[in-house]
Amino acid sequence: MHAFIKRWQFTEHDQHTRVWWTWQMVTSEGGTEKALDGFRSYGEAVADAISKGFHPRHDDWVVESMRTVVHFERGSAAARLPKGNDGPGGERPTRVYEKPTLVPR
């Protein structure tokens, strides 16, 4: 693992019947350098971030949907975790490793 300098975050939001995505690029100091809101799909959010300098294979990123969180750090496989304590008996969720697949549709 390495100390990240910047990380791209993609977040799904749900408010009653409206669902939308946002992205932001945060620094290891906790600041936000870039952020955009209001995308109708994850693909639209990623495509816009790419046009603003996001490189899915080289940058650290986090995708937080309503059900899962996926983390990717350079040099590692992506880790996908269910949100919350979804396991029977309240145990912590198991990590599922997969190749990063951030490709706009």
What backbone torsions phi and psi does residue 27 show, to the nearest 5 degrees? -100, 165
Tens-digit pLDDT profile for residues 78-89: 888 887 655 444
Tell me what the mean pLDDT of segment 15-39 comes to.
85
Tens-digit pLDDT profile for residues 32-66: 878 888 899 999 999 999 999 999 989 999 999 98
Is pTM beyond 0.85? Reply is: no
pLDDT of residue 55: 93
What single-letter amino acid sits at 100?
Answer: P
What's the chain's average pLDDT?
A: 78
pLDDT of residue 2: 54
Cβ–Cβ < 8 Å for 13, 35: no
List the domain boundaries for the chain.
6-98
pLDDT of residue 44: 94
Q: How confident is the model at residue 98 (pLDDT cuts 50, 70, 90)?
A: very low
